[in-house]
Structure 1
């Protein structure tokens, strides 16, 4: 397919003024956009959605009532500080920085015997320690020097102090044990000689992950705010039969619990999905007696239609802490928009700032697979990063054909600054002139050989092209 989809073939398609070929996901995809529509009129439901967002924020606040938000930023910084000391200690133990050493990034990766798929994490350590003034880069050489390394006692004390920070943030004791175990096994984890899944899910238990995605103060706030948006949507559609929900990447069901509680006895066709059968089995035990809840495998990277999901078949798509894994955010959002009814709602929960603690733990779950040829091909291409900012997500929604709702919590809220966990939602845009996907497919069929056939075609409002950085050598 790659050698036949040339600029000549893709140029001049009917109604198309901009396009982007996105590879991967089992089948190439083509995003197409027409002429810029200019200023867009306000969404018909804009006021109602803004009111629903306000009530959702109130629900988030109510879920953490009794928790003083003032110390949260300092507690998050304490977790970050422990991670910074862990990064520096692992790097120092290579001995490359001693005696005024100035190792190159490649030498550091080799000394740590880092599996190629995790190399981006160590590169992120280097840039993070530099930003924190604990490492100096040698300009334009890809070398580093003057590492500020902790001694063993300081590092051990920081790991002991994690217990108080985790408790203050609402994490269970198992989360403290997880952070410590990840720090202790970090060299082996980077080498793929052991798996973070074994640390996060010891003996198949999900308590630690639930503590992260359900019980912590930031997650509790976001889950209840998102749940309130779905409850408002159910009220808005009360005379249209059951609320048809697809929860993508539902994992341990931390958000599901809050959503089903908020929906109460509302009739639902709730499809709980994940890429792993492990989570489906656990969900069936937790929610199996709830009427209207079904379970299925679903991969956000692959064609939804090939996974049994029909266009326009969902009223709501809920995606909590999963869409950052999409290798191309624009294609994924276009896929999800096409699954939604004409005025459907997408509700996301996403971390919109980087937590250093994740760089020594959870990020290992986000590395490309051992057999994955590429990684992110959207605006994150070549940047060694996973998470988008709230502003980037809002622009992605707008480009994909959604009218974005207000991001929650608002910027001035203590949790927005401390945790960066945000609820980001968008309603399928009813207006706007996009290229006709059928006409585009027909034109491609005339230009391409019968096999392997044309790519998937997604009509969007705007193409966001990646800008590959040309920064310092690695």
Structure 2
């Protein structure tokens, strides 16, 4: 369905505003009260408990990297960025773009490189990044790029040697250097979808390189242990096991410190991912832990089934996955419904764009060739994947969470690395619309084919581009 039946959404019970979110099959409807609910926000009496939680988590992160010199991280990150910038310029130059004073607009660049449509956003990011770094000029009046700074062959070789120095300093294993070099050499084929990053990231089915990216380096080590401390300090009111759902668990980079932090705690831990590949690997690495189970979960598909009933989880953990949600607000609303009152959502997210990712990992984040839409939230049409810390806090607040301070704090040496822990506690006591009553009203007004697949109540709807229809009832 391309848009909502606006008349049918007028005067819905308890609804002050709505948002009609496109989905892979049928839309989802987000409904919010009027005025936006605020009465459940964290009270002053709970502030000390929050400070204690955050302090303990930050201390756990610091302990995990206590043997490292963090003062050199900005310089090392810049070395990695420099290799990526040279790789971008090298691809453009080898395609004979911008030679002899030639000028090209974005469409011409994409055509000459024969970029697969789903990867076009990456090349657009290359062009804007090279302009920002003064490696390429852009004429706003004509829309043409020109005067590429051609990478020097000797300089590129030197930068590749320095890449290994940066890799060691940041705590990546040697396989990461091989991965970055391999993707840089194959960029033209990768952009044309004649080769895949997966084969380079998981050579012969090995997860060593992925572990270097998500577990072993210093920023990942810090956030994984800080997240583990937050989950490990979690208490719940029921007499049964602590019920945890991990979404997009992948190679288990965050799972392992979380399980260590919960040693001796009775668990019902559901480890999930969208891919059976990771479930098979995880069963080998983690399968003997009591209370640990495995299953499939796709953040872009509405959760159903006995494992995903409302209020069935005390903690939801999602490390480096929620940015893949096509609509963050819809995904957060769905996860909040799975949480018990006072439940905790713990996210690990990258909040900064790294140039190195633009020549490697970002190729994994492009939409599938079959997708008619990509992001339908605040990122729509912006050629970006990641949200800022402030945007994440705003999204949590709108979905019905009380956000905790983002970790590491802005003054921490690892803050500029971009990996952050973002946490929200389910906000109780807000007079949200009742989805059951809203659904009953729509059933009386619309045929089955025109109804939303799911209705989620939120505290407020977020402004969004035209890909998402919004409204306030008359």
Residue pairs, 1:74-85, within 5 angstroms? 74-85=75-86
Equivalent residue number for residue 423 of structure 2: 425
1:162 aligned residue = 163
Query: Is contact 2:41-2:427 (8 Å) kept?
Result: no
- C-alpha distance in 2 between matches for 1:343 and 1:169: 37
Q: Which residue of 2 aligns with 1:444?
A: 442
**Corresponding residue for 1:464?**
462
CA distance in 1, matches of 2:360, 2:316: 28
2:309 matches 1:300: no
Shift of 1:387: 0.2
Q: In 2, Cα distance between the equivalents of 1:283 and 1:100?
A: 53
Residue 383 of structure 1 deviates from its aligned partner by 0.1
Correspondence for 2:198: 197
1:134 aligns with 2:166: no
Map of 1:255 onto structure 2? 254
CA deviation vs aligned residue, 1:194-220 (integer Å, no higher than 9, x gap): 110000000000000001111100000
Change (3 A) 1:456 1:294: same
Q: Do 1:22 and 1:377's aligned partners in 2 also have CA atoms closer than 8 Å? A: yes
Deviations 1:91-136 (A, max 9, x none): 1122120111110111110111100000000000011111111111
SS in 1 for 2:444: helix
Deviation, structure 1 residue 382: 0.4
Residue correspondence of structure 1 range 51-450 to structure 2 within 5 A: 51-233=52-234, 236-237=235-236, 240-305=239-304, 308-417=307-416, 419-450=417-448
Displacement of 1:141 in angstroms is: 2.9
Conservation of the 8 A alpha-carbon contact between 1:272 and 1:296? yes
Cα distance in 2, alignment partners of residues 427 and 392 from structure 1: 17
Q: TM-score when scaled to structure 1?
A: 0.95
Change beyond 3 A, Cα 1:164–1:146:
same
Contact 1:231 1:263 in 2 (8 A): yes
Give the superposition deviation at 1:160.
2.1
* Alpha-carbon distance, 1:463 to partner: 0.7
Counterpart of 2:27 in structure 1 is: 28
TM-score using structure 2 length: 0.95
User: Using the alignment, how far apart are the partners of 2:442 and 2:141 within structure 1?
Assistant: 45
Instruction: Tell me the SS of whatever aligns to 2:323.
Output: helix
Q: By how many angstroms is 1:38 displaced? A: 6.8
For 2:141 and 2:323, the matched residues in 1 are separated by 31
User: After the TM superposition, which of the residue ranges 249-258 and 428-437 deviates more from structure 2?
Assistant: 428-437
**Is the 8 Å Cα contact of residues 213 and 219 (structure 1) preserved in structure 2?**
yes
Higher RCO structure (Cα 8 Å, ≥6 apart): 2
In structure 1, distance between residues paired with 2:464 and 2:448: 31
Cα-to-partner distance string for 1:140-180 (whole Å, 9 max, x where unaligned): 43210111121222222212221110000000000110000
The answer (yes or no) to whether the contact 2:398–2:460 under 8 Å persists in 1 is yes
* Distance in 2 of aligned mates of 1:388 and 1:468: 19
Unpaired stretches in structure 2, ≥5 consecutive residues = 468-474
CA contact (8 A) 1:25 1:303 kept: no
CA contact (8 A) 2:37 2:431 kept: no
* 1:352-384 residue CA offsets vs partner (Å, 9 max, x unmatched): 010000000000000000111110000000000
Q: 1:252 to 1:307 in 2, by over 3 A?
A: farther
Q: What does residue 472 of structure 1 align with?
A: none
- Cross-structure match for 2:472: none
Structure 1 residue 41: Cα displacement: 5.7
Alpha-carbon separation, structure 1, partners of 2:87 and 2:26: 40
Tell me the matched-pair count: 465
Report the Cα distance in structure 2 between the residues aligned to 1:243 and 1:41, rounded to whole angstroms. 24
Alignment of 1:11-26 (within 5 A): 11-26=10-25
* Conserved? CA contact 1:445–1:454, under 8 Å: no
Q: Say which is worse superposed, 253-262 or 236-245, in terms of deviation.
A: 236-245
Aligned-pair CA distance for 1:14: 1.5
Deviation at 1:27, TM superposition (A): 2.9
Once the 2 structures are TM-superposed, how far is the Cα of residue 51 of structure 1 from its aligned partner? 1.1
Aligned partners of 1:16 and 1:299: how far apart in 2?
28
Cα deviation per residue 1:267-288 (whole Å; 9 max; x = unaligned)?
Answer: 1100000000000000000001
Closer, same or farther in 2 for the Cα pair 1:85/1:454, shift >3 Å? closer
Q: CA deviation at 1:40?
A: 4.4
Using the alignment, how far apart are the partners of 2:115 and 2:47 within structure 1? 49
Shift of 1:25: 3.6
**RMSD value over aligned CA atoms?**
1.6
Cα drift, residue 239 of structure 1? 6.0
Look up the SS of the partner of 1:240 in the other structure: coil
Determine if contact 2:116/2:193 at 8 Å carries over to the other structure.
Answer: yes
* CA gap 1:107/1:13 in 2 versus in 1, 3 angstroms: same
1:185 Cα deviation (Å)? 0.5
Distance of 1:427 and 1:73 partners within structure 2: 32
Query: Secondary structure of the equivalent of 1:76?
Result: helix
Q: Shift of residue 461 of structure 1?
A: 0.6
Secondary structure of the 1:465 match is: coil
